[in-house]
Chains A and B, each alone.
Chain A
Amino acid sequence: MVENKNILEVKNVTVSFDGFKALNSLSLEIKKSQMIAIIGPNGAGKTTLQDVITGKTKIDNGKIYFKNNDLSQFSEHAIVELGIGRKFQRPTIIENISVWDNLCIALNTKKTFLSCLLTKLKQKDLNKLLEIINTINLEEKKNLIAKNLSHGEKQWLEIGMLLMQESDLLLIDEPVAGMTETETKKTSDLLLNIAKDRTIIVVEHDMNFIESLNVEIIVLHEGRVLTRGNMNSIKRNKQVIDVYLGR
């Protein structure tokens, strides 16, 4: 039997809100250790796609398999345990605790009440915390209460939290929206750096940013896949141009 190389398979998924089909029998596959970018105009179903993968929104029709597990059988936190991490559009960190604590609670350990009450950090965990806080460049601000971080730093902290989780698949929604140019550059470096040993799906509007990532692109439109390919082929695709220019 051939080992399944696809880490994620979305098969004919439909989701509708009051008759409006946010996803319209959408299908796509994503291979292991691949970084992929998803683009599409407003209402194409980008956010809904992430919602259904992470279990936030229930599917009306179709199936999603992650590492050959049917995701409809899992609750949100169980999906996380399977290895899917999600970064929201707006920075979603715990604002009222320190940067360090934010990373601590993201640590990939047993997450039951009792173990959270009783276990303390092991040396191995500490090393990991230090490593990641370095990766996201927040080493000096680790004791700062998270709400005092800048917008870009909050986004990195959130990515750091996903790294702590050791997820195999990261869903990253508009990481560079609202970032300065240097911050954007740093972010793309960060993503490329962490993409070495995990699968990443980036949803982004900023074409320059996507180009700088230099990855395969999936174009969504009206709840289905319009096309996929590299930047150059997408740029020349007539359908994509029509969709974006509204023709």
Chain B
Amino acid sequence: MKIIIKFFYVILVFTNLNYLLANNNNLRNHILELDTKDFKKKIVSIEKISEIKTDLSLLTLKSILNGKLFIRKSDKKILLVEIIDRKYNIYDFFNEKELGIEKKRKLKKIKINNKIRSILNNKIALLQLSSGTTRQKIEAIFDVIKEGNQETLIIINELLLKEKDKELLLNLNLAKNSIIAKFGTEIEKIEAIKNLSGITNNNIVNILRSIVNDKIISENIKLEATKSLEASLRNIKLNNIIKTTFFGLSLGSVLLLAAIGLAITFGVVGVINMAHGELIMIGAYCAYVVQQIIPTNISASIIVSIPVAFIFTGFVGILIERLIVKNLYGRPLETLLATFGLSLILQQTVRSIFSPLNKTVYSPEWMSGITRIGGLELTNNRIVIIIFTLIVFFIVVYILKKTIFGLQMRAVTQNRKMASSMGINTKKIDMFTFAFGSGLAGVAGVALSQITNVGPNLGQNYIIDSFMVVVFGGVGNLFGTFIGAFGLGLGNKLLEPYVGAIVSKIFILLFIIIFIQFRPKGLFSLKGRIANE
């Protein structure tokens, strides 16, 4: 029985191979036909190539479009050419074998004009429409919307009958309407334009805009197009607001993660740990190391690295507290300097162990990719981080509000002397608080490893920002830190479209510098006689 299956399999492979080889020969001939100055003949050849409908024919069309398809004059070999530093690196088109460097004058480029370019775009889109994943198909549909014509309309109509996927159908309809809006009769056009109302796709907005600006088109169509365009622009604006908010929330959650540990150590122990950024960096490296140990399961490695980072950086935190901070109790400025020195050492140590180059920590599949909501595209890793941050925040709040450790910690924050005389071992609380805050920095590091590269300078980029968050929100107040982080995140991203990323950051820093002048204790602060002293 097995033999029979094998036999069939072999036959299948052979026939398939034969078929492919025949196709390749056809393709080769058609490509060689392109070597002509007559653009009409070229169009005919391109039509023929696109009818072959294999991956190679698709590649051919794309390479022509990108100007990478060449023919060697001597042996009529079809080549792909990469031009690097003005040198022509050539590859065999059919097996992609590298053939070294060739002189320019020995090669002939397949030249195209604008008309052919538009045809190529269309053909490529059509080819992609009929094969590939849903994602590729949707990309192809967007291309069709840009360049579509009556011919593509026929294919789209066919596909509309065949396809089952809802998202595909939705986009195919868009494409159909966009083509009708351009080429249909007046009644058809108006109907199509109505259907396009409120769509945020860039190409459709362009089509609507060109109809509105068309001087010879009838008033009825123009009126309808104006209405639809306005609806679309309104939706785009709305989308932009949502997108900005999303980016703001995403930045805010990163800030909150980075700052929450700092807020706890600063609030309770009363010292600024300048090495906090480096603890974040070490947390990120924990994620990297765990992934090196279990490279096969990325999901597991990320989840495992969270407790690993927490414990490891927490332990580093204990060491910092025992060896440095404890010796400088009551001298906050000196603590600041000593921990800064430590941050230099930690950075250099990591640089020596792992090299100064950035490391990549791979994201599990459920974190990569994009979630579409309406016309919005939100990256999954940022969504996950926002959710993760909220979870971490609520766990921290729970620990502070509902556990004995948290109660003691809050007592020390509010009145160290009183807490001490109530029998709380404040020194022990200091140590555990430091460990807790440091551990949270480690967890932040794991999260950050999912959105940026992991390098020895990772922490530096976040330390000033996290200070700003803590100072802005008010020391010793987690809720303040929460509002501070999201406030600054949103503020930053709201400004960004108007002034650019760096300038918006400058504005935010200036804002905080000025803000501190008016509320030296931050947004939310402890009041009363003890807090004043």
Kindly count the residue-residue contacts between A and B in the assembled complex, taking CB atoms under 8 Å apart.
11
Instruction: Report yes or no: A48 in contact with B529, Cβ–Cβ below 8 A.
Output: yes
Q: Mark A43-84, 1 if CB is under 8 A from B, else 0.
A: 000011001000001000000000000000000000000000
Main secondary structure of the interface of A (DSSP, over half): mixed
Inter-subunit contact A18/B529 (CB<8 Å) = no
User: Whole-angstrom distance from the CB of A203 to the nearest CB of chain B?
Assistant: 15
By a CB distance below 8 angstroms, the chain B residues around A48 are 529
Q: Mark B512-533, 1 if CB is under 8 A from A, else 0.
A: 0000000000000001110010
CA distance A57 to B532 in the complex (A): 10
Instruction: Give A17 to B528 CA distance when docked, in angstroms.
Output: 5
Could you tell me how many residues of chain A have their Cβ less than 8 Å away from some Cβ of chain B? 8
Interface string of A204-226 (1 = CB under 8 A from B): 00000000000000000000000
- Tier of interface size on chain B: under 10
By a CB distance below 8 angstroms, the chain B residues around A51 are 529
In the complex formed, the residue of B with least CB distance to A56 is B532
B residues 473-530 with Cβ under 8 Å of A? 527-529
Shortest beta-carbon distance, B451 to chain A, in Å?
40
Q: CB-defined interface of A12-25 with B at 8 Å, one 1/0 digit per residue?
A: 00000110101000
Q: How near does chain B come to A42, taking the closest CB pair, in angstroms? A: 12
Q: Chain A residues near B532 (CB, 8 Å)? A: 57
Task: Give every chain A residue within 8 A of B528 (Cβ-Cβ).
Answer: 17-18, 20
Return the CB mask of B379-422 against A: 1 if under 8 Å, else 0.
00000000000000000000000000000000000000000000
What is the CB-to-nearest-CB distance from A41 to chain B, in angstroms, rounded to a whole number? 16
Alpha-carbon separation in the docked complex, A18 to B532 (Å): 13
In the complex, the chain B residue whose C-beta lies closest to that of A48 is: B529
B529, A47: Cβ atoms closer than 8 Å: yes
A16 CB → nearest B CB, Å: 10
CA distance A169 to B528 in the complex (A): 26
For B527, B529, B532, the residue with the greatest tally of chain A CB atoms inside 10 Å of its CB is: B529
Min CB distance, A45 to chain B, in Å?
11
Which B residues are CB-close (under 8 A) to A22?
529
Chain B residues with Cβ under 8 A from A57's Cβ? 532
User: Taking the nearest CB of chain B, how far is it from the CB of A69, in angstroms?
Assistant: 25
11 interchain pairs (CB within 8 A)?
A: A17-B527, A17-B528, A17-B529, A18-B527, A18-B528, A20-B528, A22-B529, A47-B529, A48-B529, A51-B529, A57-B532
* B positions within 8 Å CB-CB of A: 527-529, 532
Contacts A17-B527, A48-B529 aside, 9 further interface pairs with beta carbons under 8 A come to A17-B528, A17-B529, A18-B527, A18-B528, A20-B528, A22-B529, A47-B529, A51-B529, A57-B532
